[in-house]
Amino acid sequence: TQLLEQSPQFLSIQEGENLTVYCNSSSVFSSLQWYRQEPGEGPVLLVTVVTGGEVKKLKRLTFQFGDARKDSSLHITAAQPGDTGLYLCAGAKTGSARQLTFGSGTQLTVLP
């Protein structure tokens, strides 16, 4: 089983602050995804990164895939209360029947 470690596990910040959450593994992944999950709902895909060193931006969210494709980070600029949720990273390995290995998540709370 490939493990994906996410840090921090919990993060509480004030509106307007910046933050970074991390997703690390000793395994190489062919792609890595970030999902956001709100209470009482299923996870929703935010982004997929495929190439080592790739950086993708989604408005105030910046995602980076490590050069060795073992780790990833999510940076949020000027966080808003609407960013509150559980952020999950998930890695895919080639030939794995499209199975994803999920991290344990980072619970983000943005206070107004």
Partner 1 sequence: NAGVTQTPKFRILKIGQSMTLQCTQDMNHNYMYWYRQDPGMGLKLIYYSVGAGITDKGEVPNGYNVSRSTTEDFPLRLELAAPSQTSVYFCASSYGGQGAYEQYFGPGTRLTVT
9 binds partner 1 (CB under 8 A): yes
Binding mask 82-101 for partner 1 (x = CB under 8 A): ------x-x-x----xxxx-
Q: How far is the CB of 17 from partner 1 (least distance, A)?
A: 24
HEC letters along the chain: CCCCEEECCEEEEECCCCEEEEEECCCCCCEEEEEEECCCCCCEEEEEECCCCCEEEECCEEEEECCCCCEEEEEECCCCHHHCEEEEEEEECCCCCCCEEECCCEEEEEEC
14 binds partner 1 per the rule CB under 8 A: no
- The residue from 14, 40, 59, 112 that contacts partner 1 (CB under 8 A) is 40
Inter-residue contact 29 to 68 (CB < 8 Å) = no
In the shown chain, the binding pattern of residues 45 to 64 toward partner 1, with x for contact by CB under 8 A and - for none, equals x--x-x--------------
Q: Residues in the site for partner 1, rule: CB under 8 A?
A: 1, 4, 6, 9, 31, 33, 40-45, 48, 50, 88, 90, 92, 97-100, 102-105
